[in-house]
Amino acid sequence: MNMSVRSCRVPAGDVSLEGDLTMPDAARGVVLFAHGSGSSRHSPRNRQVAATLQEHGFATLLLDLLTPLEEVTDSRTAHLRFDIPLLASRVESVIVWLGGDSGTASLPIGLFGASTGGGAALVAAAARPESVRAVVSRGGRPDLAGTSLARVRAPTLLIVGQRDEPVINMNRDAMAKMPGVVSLVIVPRATHLFEEPGALDQVAALAGGWFDEHLRR
């Protein structure tokens, strides 16, 4: 399968976000990645999942939700990575950009959120129900989406490691507040970062299957 990759700068309020858009031939949809705490578009875990989604025929957009200057500040204070309203507003800006870009305007949009990015993805999905068709959360913090959970209509898959017990409970509690199609899958023996052999492969396969089923034109 042929792939094209282009760097992009996405306007989001008064900043621009740097991203990498990978497009397979005849893409079936596009998945926007919302990274988690202290991460970036260069996250090897998200890039591994993105490669699997590309094999399934989906375009992927990995981008930095924080600017380089904000990253420096956050590395000292760790406060921006938990600023869910800020992160969600930027995810929304990227959703709007995808809808206006000539390469992606015709494609249905899915969101893949990791850690705190899972909460931001769900807030954005609740705010843009006409645009977001499916959501996958890896080791996510859906509890951080707060009252937005009750407004999420996109089919949502929550993936958590078996040894990430506090996050399992957070996901179960959040799941009970979501009115739409939602599923929780616990990956055996996996911890929060899914660093165990084969664990991230399972995440990628689950995400690919979910988007195959729900991310349609």
The pair phi, psi for residue 95, each rounded to 5°, is -60, -45
pLDDT for the residue numbered 123: 98
User: What does the pLDDT look like over 68-83, one tens digit per residue?
Assistant: 888 888 778 777 778 8
Residues in the chain, pLDDT under 70: 36-40, 217
Ordered by where they begin, the domains of the chain are: 3-214 (3.40.50.1820)
What is the distance between the alpha carbons of residues 20 and 7, in angstroms, rounded to a whole number? Answer: 5
> Strands 58-63 and 109-114: what pairing?
unpaired
The C-alpha atoms of residue 64 and residue 43 are separated, in whole angstroms, by 10
**So what's the pLDDT on residue 77?**
76
The pLDDT, as a whole number, for residue 154 is: 97
pTM of the model: 0.94
What is the predicted pLDDT for the residue at 161?
Answer: 97
**pLDDT score of 78:** 72
| Cβ atoms of 32 and 112 closer than 8 Å | yes
Question: What is the predicted pLDDT for the residue at 38?
Answer: 59
The pLDDT value recorded for residue 80 is: 76
C-alpha torsion angle, residues 24, 20, 154, 15 (rounded to 10): -150
Contact assessment for residue 21 and residue 3, using Cβ atoms and an 8 Å cutoff: no
* Per-residue pLDDT at 214: 97
Residues 48-63: tens digit of each pLDDT = 999 999 999 999 999 9
- Give the pLDDT of residue 69: 85
Contact, 185 vs 158, CB < 8 A?
yes
Distance of CA 181 to CAs 27, 152, 171, Å? Answer: 24, 9, 14
